[in-house]
Amino acid sequence: GAGVSQSPSNKVTEKGKDVELRCDPISGHTALYWYRQSLGQGLEFLIYFQGNSAPDKSGLPSDRFSAERTGGSVSTLTIQRTQQEDSAVYLCASSLRGDQPQHFGDGTRLSIL
């Protein structure tokens, strides 16, 4: 399809394991964002990529979280040594440029046991 694609749609893992979440943005979109939504909360910004510029990592909650975007397209969000408070829906969005509306994928629901 033409929308933002995220995988996996669901991930259940044990506390302490590492997880990797994938986002495939809309073709041609230069801006890519990661957000997370914890239960009963709004979406919380994590990280922003714009073209070849250095990413804005100001929303990452700890150094266990990292993200990369290869070739200006696909992005992966990695969480090391997962904790139960990492359980949330992780959402990826992309936009044509930073000042255009963001379009979201359906998210990855991450559950840490």
Partner 1 sequence: DQQVKQNSPSLSVQEGRISILNCDYTNSMFDYFLWYKKYPAEGPTFLISISSIKDKNEDGRFTVFLNKSAKHLSLHIVPSQPGDSAVYFCAASARGANSKLTFGKGITLSVRP
66, amino acid identity: S
| Residue 98 is a binding residue for partner 1 (CB under 8 A) | yes
Shorter beta-carbon distance to partner 1: residue 31 or 110: 31
| Residue 27 is a binding residue for partner 1 (CB under 8 A) | no
| Residue 44 is a binding residue for partner 1 (CB under 8 A) | yes
Of 31, 36, 30, 25, whose CA–CA distance to 2 is shortest?
25
Of 112, 83, 94, 93, whose CA–CA distance to 10 is shortest?
112
Segment lying near partner 1 (by CB under 8 A), choices 14-22, 28-36, 65-73, 77-85: 28-36
